[in-house]
Homo-oligomer: A and B are copies of this chain.
Amino acid sequence: MTGATNLVQHEIVGDVYEPPPPLAPFVPPRTRSAAEEARTLVASAQVGALATLSEDGTPWASMVTYGAMRDGAPVLYVSVLAEHGRNLARAPGASLLVVDGTAQGDPLDAGRVTLAGRARQPSDAEVETVRAAHLAALPGAKAYEAFGDFSFWVLGVERVRWVGGYGRMDSAGAADYAAAEPDPIAPAAPGAVAHLNADHGDALLAIARSLCGYSDATAARATRLDRYGLDLDVETPRGAAPARAGFEEAPLRDPAQLRGATVELARRART
């Protein structure tokens, strides 16, 4: 797996906006892989939508809470009295959708990931590890242990489909998903993006002009931050375009590195 993003090849029947290209030669900086995006989204939430197979053979969507194992496998705790519990007991094929709850605005531009695979009940040897993974994310789930109809299920992830928003999407396999790390700076990213836009518009413009090839940029706004770099929306007399600048010290390993990494980008843009 690379970090490359594959664009959907839509059949164009009307006017579709084509952003202007950079004016200077530009090597696209590394981005998170689909597996990293998926692990990051899964780590950011405790609620998802589970698809299971109902008795009549049609798919059933239901809300579930989950914690994640160290390899990113979601751990559910569901009642066999609920339709999804009965479904898992009968047909283990299932998938879990997790949507970025922090996204603002157009819902179709929100990040989301589907993890598809097979659900299994933990063996006696692993049940304490599985239980601990669920309760670490959802301490309140202890209350369900008063009910005898709840069981833990581990969704063994076989394939992953990530959609990051418009034109950002890719797939990953089981091994890449299990091996990838959740981005450690993700929890701090929305606040840092807001701060950059509120207080450092000049630095963002310098970055767009010097580091992203948009020497004709007239404005730049931060849209996303990850451990590898900074995404921008850039305004030019030729129209608006997305752009990206990579951190020198990527991948960042701690949110505390975020400030230094963006200061270094601004310094590099101005020299």
Contact = CB atoms under 8 A, between A and B. Distances in A.
Contact of A50 (B12, B16, B54, B61): B61
B97 A49 contact: yes
A62 B51 CA distance: 9
Interface of A: 8-16, 46-54, 56-63, 65, 79, 81-83, 93-97, 99, 106-108, 110, 112, 114, 116, 140, 145-149, 161, 163
A172 B46 CA distance: 28
A110 B63 contact: yes
Contact of A114 (B15, B60, B94): B60
Contacts of A81: 8-10
Contacts of A9: 81
A61 B83 contact: no
Of the candidates A9, A63, A147, the one having the most CB atoms from chain B within 10 angstroms of its own CB is A63
A83 B145 CA distance: 37
Contact of A54 (B10, B57, B116): B116
19 contacts: A8-B79, A8-B81, A8-B82, A10-B147, A10-B149, A12-B148, A14-B146, A47-B107, A49-B61, A53-B53, A58-B95, A59-B93, A59-B95, A61-B95, A62-B112, A62-B161, A63-B110, A63-B163, A65-B108
A162 B82 CA distance: 12
Nearest to A140: B106
A79 B10 contact: yes
Contact of A51 (B15, B61, B108, B140): B61
Given A107-B46, A107-B47, A107-B63, A94 B58 contact: yes
Contacts of A50: 61
Given A8-B81, A81-B8, A94 B59 contact: yes
Given A10-B79, A13-B148, A107 B59 contact: no
Contact of A60 (B51, B79, B106): B51
Contacts of A116: 54, 58, 60
